[in-house]
Amino acid sequence: MVFPSKPCFCFLLLSSFLFVCPSQSAPDYSILVYKGCAKQAFQDPNGVYSQAISALFGSLVSQSTKTKFFKTTAGTSQTTITGLFQCRGDLSNTDCYNCVSKLPILTDKLCGKTIAARIQLYGCYISYEVAGFAQISGMEMLYKTCGAKNLAGSGFEERRDTALSVMQNGVVSGHGYFATNYQSVYVLGQCEGDVGDSDCGECVKTAVQRAQVECGNAISGQIYLHKCFISYSYYANGVPRRSSSSSSSSNSISSGTGQNTGKTVAIIVGGAAGVGFLVICLLFARGLIRKRDGMLFCTLKNTMRLDSYTLHFTGYHLF
């Protein structure tokens, strides 16, 4: 008699339970946010500027394995080019390098051989300019985006403004970078690496004011000024856990250690549930085995020939 393999099915369910519950996928830091390209191209018949830019990009990419901000110059006195890169404060060195290493090719593809350019990705940006290029204010707005959905009359704006206020103070004490969430609103702010704390606070304050005016009650927004940027997002079901050093508490600032503790608790709870499920499966399998043994006994009993005291079973004669 063939019995259904339910214990194996139970094991497959357990495997699915343990391995089909991945953590939140890592964000793609290489998504293009915006580009800024000067209208004037290089006059470079001898390839001097091209060589200087190539050397500049090589230096920036190599430094991205060690730091999240670096600024340098390349070229001669006649062809000086200044450039920098910056990664988001919550990126690892590996993520920073992976992000920055894509920027030289993107810059050439999107802007060509222009005398100045800035390419902003989700996790990093790069910019360069030739000596003598016209300077702009650090408060100049370069780019903005606001979510399409609005939450007017729901108390959202008060929660968002509270979160932005906390971030505005935190970015100063955090020396240029801060992220946290407050009542389902996630906020992040960062200043360019060579901006002092006081100027950083003023830049972020301006960005916050622009977000409040430009985005109104939109559920998300990003404001990029020349020397800083901020972003906020509302999550109706709570801010998802992020793989970063930013805070993850629902009402106040917390450290990355607290987030790791949450991950540890989740692993423990998931493991305990998996063990419990395994125990249930084993008990179920044990019950099936007992049932099978009982059915085998009944089969053997029915095949006995009592008149000749001969037992026929599986092709053998037992005397």
152 & 80 share domain: no
163 & 124 share domain: no
44 & 125 share domain: yes
- Residue 88 and residue 90: Cα distance in Å, rounded? 6
Here the CATH number for the domain that contains residue 82 is 3.30.430.20
Dihedral sign, CA of 125, 130, 131, 137?
negative
108 & 156 share domain: no
102 & 187 share domain: no
Could you tell me the pTM of the whole model? Answer: 0.69
Whether the pLDDT of residue 208 is over 60: the answer is yes
> How crowded is the C-beta side of 71, counted as CA atoms within 13 Å?
8
Condensed to tens digits (0 to 9), the pLDDT of residues 121-151 reads 999 999 999 998 988 899 999 999 999 888 7
Q: Across all residues in the chain, what is the average pLDDT? A: 77
Among candidate residues 211, 234, 257, the one where a domain is terminated? 234
* Residue 169 and residue 202 in contact, taking contact as beta carbons nearer than 8 Å: no
Share of the chain above pLDDT 90, in %: 56
173 & 221 share domain: yes
Which structural domain, as residue segments, surrounds residue 82? 28-130
What is 150-218 written as a DSSP string? Answer: B-TTTTHHHHHHHHHHHHHHHHHHTTSEEEEEETTEEEEEEE-TTS-HHHHHHHHHHHHHHHHHHHTTB
203 & 125 share domain: no
47 & 83 share domain: yes
Helical (H) or strand (E) element with 129: strand 124-130
Compute the average pLDDT of residues 294-301. 45
118 & 51 share domain: yes
Residue 281 lies in a domain: no
118 & 32 share domain: yes
Whether the pLDDT of residue 302 is over 80: the answer is no
Residue 251 lies in a domain: no
- Which amino acid, one-letter code, is at 256? G
Residue 182 lies in a domain: yes
73 & 150 share domain: no
Tokens read off for 161: 């403004």
Instruction: Give the count of domains, the chain.
Output: 2
* Residue 116 and residue 130 in contact, taking contact as beta carbons nearer than 8 Å: yes
Residue 35 lies in a domain: yes
147 & 123 share domain: no
Rounded (10°) angle between helices 48-63 and 93-100: 160
Among candidate residues 194, 216, 234, the one where a domain is terminated? 234
Among candidate residues 130, 149, 168, the one where a domain is terminated? 130
Compute the average pLDDT of residues 162-175. 96
Residue 21 lies in a domain: no
Residue 104 lies in a domain: yes
Whether the pLDDT of residue 64 is over 50: the answer is yes
Quote the pLDDT of residue 148.
Answer: 85
Residue 125 lies in a domain: yes
Quote the pLDDT of residue 291.
Answer: 52
- Better-predicted residue by pLDDT, 16 or 158: 158
Residue 159 lies in a domain: yes
